[in-house]
Amino acid sequence: MPQKVRIALDAMGGDFGPSVVVPGAALALSKHPDTEFLLVGDSNSINAQLDSHPALKKASRVIHADIAISMDEKPSQALRRGRKSSSMWLAIDTVKKGEADVAVSAGNTGALMAMARLNLRMLEGIDRPAIAAVWPTVRGESVVLDVGASIGGDARHLALLAIMGSAMARVLFDLERPTVGLLNIGVEEQKGVEEVRGAAELLRSMNPPQLDFIGFVEGDGIGKGAADVIVTEGFSGNIALKTAEGTARQIGEYLRDAMSRTWRSKLGYLFARGAFQVLRDKMDPRNVNGGVFLGLNGVVIKSHGGTDAEGFASAIEVGYDMVRYDLLPKINQTLNRDGHSLADVPNAQEAVS
């Protein structure tokens, strides 16, 4: 019998706390009964929700936390107030202590990043983590990073994102040498800010054996699946993610309105509802909720703060897959398979000098 996957949940994170986290965990458990949960947060609030989910209650342990980090707290404030005693910190701490295999939170992104860095520490050569998302495309799926862990980054940071993202794509998509593109405002060599152009020079000069750098990718190339891995810094990556989610909802509203406008359209929907359901599932942002924090000595998953139970269950499933398929050790092996540490990655000036 395979070993249980132990998942710690920051039950107080996100806009709705236990009222979404607990039902989301119940949905995830129904799909993966080989899961055990550590529910971290206000025990009274958690237990009140657990009473409606007896199967989850049997598969869970509640860890009380006195402090919940709010969605608008600055990371520095969250660390001062919530270090050691908040639901977010304690959920991450179970991973460090080996009590859980992965932590999932819908809470404040900046606070989650700060606490994860401080508690779990970074891999050698990595200064800060990135959130990597698996993005649905017309060709299948791509890894996109960073989608919101931190703002800005120099050429070396972007090159490191490319290497980490390619390692994740190798494991997830079973690719020997994933294609990697840098998100830019054009594909021409002279386009873009200095950091992006510098990252391109750095990747070309390094010619990493684990990836195939194809150059710049414009925004519409994400959905087209122009590369297996698309790299950007967290500010533009988060805007791209939220824009795609909003567009998906907008198109969904257009379709619902069009299909209910006349009796002919209603009849047409009856004949084509199977196809429309497939389209709806592909466009539903809840089905791709959950970003992986890459660069940490442990697995942390970030869920959207405003998601519902179904969306949070999707984030839990990302964490489940990371553990069940042993992705973190495999990614680390891939990163160092040629005997080189990420600390060996030069800056742009050193690479071209």
Q: What span, in angstroms and rounded, lies between the C-alpha atoms of 82 and 90?
A: 9
pLDDT digits (tens, 9 = 90+) for 3-14: 899 999 999 999
Inter-CA distances, 140 with 81, 82, 115, 158, Å: 43, 40, 33, 24
Residues 29/64, Cβ–Cβ less than 8 Å: no
3-class SS at 9? strand
Helix axes 327-335, 309-324, angle to 10 degrees: 60
Q: What span, in angstroms and rounded, lies between the C-alpha atoms of 217 and 229?
A: 10
Q: How many other CB atoms are there within 10 angstroms of residue 193's CB atom? A: 11
Residue 278 has pLDDT above 70, yes or no: no
Residue 234 has pLDDT above 70, yes or no: yes
- Domains of the chain listed by start with CATH number: 127-287+340-353 (3.40.718.10)
Which tokens hold the place of 331?
Answer: 């990614």
* 146: preceding bond cis by omega (within 30 degrees): yes
Q: What span, in angstroms and rounded, lies between the C-alpha atoms of 196 and 208?
A: 17
Mean pLDDT, the chain, rounded, equals 86
pLDDT digits (tens, 9 = 90+) for 11-42: 999 999 999 999 999 999 999 999 999 999 99
pLDDT digits (tens, 9 = 90+) for 291-312: 899 989 999 999 989 899 999 9
For 306-326, letters b (16+ CB in 10 Å) and e give ebbbbbbbbbbbbbbbbbbee
pLDDT digits (tens, 9 = 90+) for 151-174: 888 999 999 899 889 988 888 888
* Lowest model confidence (mean pLDDT) among 76-80, 220-224, 282-286: 282-286
For 88-117, letters b (16+ CB in 10 Å) and e give bbbbbbbbeeeebbbbbbbbbbbbbbbbbb
Q: What span, in angstroms and rounded, lies between the C-alpha atoms of 102 and 298?
A: 7
